[in-house]
């Protein structure tokens, strides 16, 4: 059964797959999660603090009663350096996973197919249940991925799969089918601290701990309104998200070249678009441009705010007129960013 599940996951195009036993709770990882919340490092992401106890185990009403196994998968989104070097300037200021289509759609489709296959392994006398998960349930995804031997957790808190790196999307299928679990991989970062040293905003108070409130990805995607004055200068030309702690990782530099789905290639819209152009659009127009891409997560006001920060970091003199107009914008974050950018022009 285990071999058939692993083979099916690979046939569906997942780059890596591992299996964890669901019979033991994540007590140690859950304690770290609680400490993260108690320190307020989750910022305004209130959903991370919901269903706290449910995140300790997948065997229960929040995920799946009677769960015995967690099938963990990884899908790579890192493309070749040569291909990424050809990305339009605006796309290069967007985190790699978000330059194309919203990954949730096709990742969930494949996970649903995997879950359906797992259910088919049951019989009338011994039916099998399986639930696909992709960023949409209260579980500690990276902890399960590490337990499954999919990879190990690096000092930047991300799952690193040897040979593939960390630029990966992860998902799960939780099932009542008892499968043979994999062996966890020992952490291999050693004395390397490149990811911690590369963070522009010093968002890592210590190895393996991220203060999301200081993370550029959090600020440019999740945070609404004004940006902390302690961080605004360090954001630089990051328009949406940040890959800095991954770009410098030796495991990504040595990742084996392989075909990456076209969904991760930049959307055509980014070819004829830059931050200056975005400043001259209404929020309705921005929503149309962003469409169903991952950028919709930032909201139109957030996209406009981030565009102000980018042109300010670039000191684009041509942006002066639209920035002046945005100083009276209804959103406080846009107003602050526009005034900050004008200050950079002076």
* CA-wise closest residue to 307 among 93, 96, 130: 93
Percent of the chain with pLDDT strictly greater than 90: 92
Residue with tokens 């914008």: 329
pLDDT at 20 over 80: yes
CB 264 within 8 A of CB 96: yes
In angstroms, what CA-CA distances link 168 with 98, 161, 208, 341? 12, 9, 18, 34
pLDDT band at 73 (very low <50, low <70, confident <90, very high): very high
Dist CA 180 CA 137 (whole Å):
24
Mean predicted confidence (pLDDT) in 212-240: 97
Euclidean distance between CA atoms 231 and 234, whole angstroms: 5
DSSP structure class, residue 134? S
Tens of pLDDT, residue by residue over 238-276, are 999 999 999 999 999 988 766 666 889 999 989 989 999
What is the C-alpha to C-alpha distance for residues 140 and 145, in angstroms, rounded to an integer? 9
Identify the DSSP state of 218: I
Question: What span, in angstroms and rounded, lies between the C-alpha atoms of 305 and 221?
Answer: 11
pLDDT, residue 262, reads 80
Beta strands of 105-250 (E only): which ranges?
A: 130-133, 152-153, 159-160, 168-175
Element (H, E) at 146: helix 141-147
Whole-angstrom Cα distance, residue 222 to residue 217? 8
Which is catalytic among the residues 11, 135, 136, 197?
A: 135
Three-class DSSP category at 168: strand
Cα separation, 168 vs 184, in Å, equals 18
Neighbours of 262 (CB within 10 A): 9
pLDDT for the residue 261: 66
Predicted confidence (pLDDT) per residue in 44-68, tens digit? 999 999 999 999 999 999 999 999 9
Per the prediction, the chain carries an average pLDDT of 95
Q: What is the dihedral of CA 88, 90, 94, 98, to 10 degrees?
A: -60
Q: Between residues 220 and 136, which one has the greater pLDDT?
A: 220
What size, in residues, is the chain?
A: 346
Tens of pLDDT, residue by residue over 134-178, are 988 999 999 999 999 999 999 999 999 999 999 999 999 999 999
CA gap 150, 147 in Å, rounded = 8
Residue 135 catalytic? yes
C-beta of residue 6 within 8 angstroms of C-beta of residue 17 = yes
């Amino acid at each position: 059964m285990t071999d058939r599940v692993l083979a099916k996951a690979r046939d569906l195009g997942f780059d890596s797959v591992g299996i964890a036993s669901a019979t033991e709770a994540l007590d140690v990882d859950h304690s770290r999660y609680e400490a993260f919340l108690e320190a307020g490092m989750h910022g305004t992401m209130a959903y991370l603090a919901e269903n706290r106890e449910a995140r300790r185990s997948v065997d229960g009403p929040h995920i799946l009663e009677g769960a015995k196994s967690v099938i963990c998968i990884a899908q790579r989104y890192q493309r070749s350096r040569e291909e990424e070097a050809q990305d339009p300037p605006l796309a290069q200021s967007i985190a790699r996973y978000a330059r194309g289509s919203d990954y949730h759609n096709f990742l969930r489709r494949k996970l649903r197919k995997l879950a359906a296959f797992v259910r088919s392994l049951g019989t009338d006398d011994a039916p099998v249940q399986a639930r696909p998960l992709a960023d949409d349930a209260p579980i500690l995804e990276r902890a399960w991925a590490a337990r499954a031997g999919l990879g190990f957790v690096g000092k930047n808190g991300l799952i690193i799969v040897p040979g593939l790196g960390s630029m990966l999307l992860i998902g799960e299928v939780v099932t009542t089918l008892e499968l043979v679990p994999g062996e966890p991989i020992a952490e291999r970062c050693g004395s390397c601290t490149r990811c911690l040293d590369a963070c522009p905003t010093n968002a890592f108070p210590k190895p393996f701990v991220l203060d999301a409130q200081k993370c550029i990805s959090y600020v440019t995607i999740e945070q609404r309104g004004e940006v902390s004055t302690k961080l605004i200068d360090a954001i630089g030309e990051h328009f949406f998200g940040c890959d800095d702690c991954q770009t410098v990782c030796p495991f990504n530099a040595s990742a084996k070249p392989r075909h990456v789905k076209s969904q991760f290639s930049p959307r055509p819209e980014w070819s004829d678009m830059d931050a200056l152009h975005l400043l001259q659009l209404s929020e309705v127009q921005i929503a149309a441009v962003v469409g169903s891409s991952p950028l919709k997560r930032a909201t139109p006001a957030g996209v406009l705010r981030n565009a102000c920060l980018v042109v300010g970091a670039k000191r684009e003199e041509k942006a002066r007129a639209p920035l002046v107009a945005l100083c009276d914008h209804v959103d406080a974050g846009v107003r602050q960013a526009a005034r900050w950018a004008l200050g950079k022009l002076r």
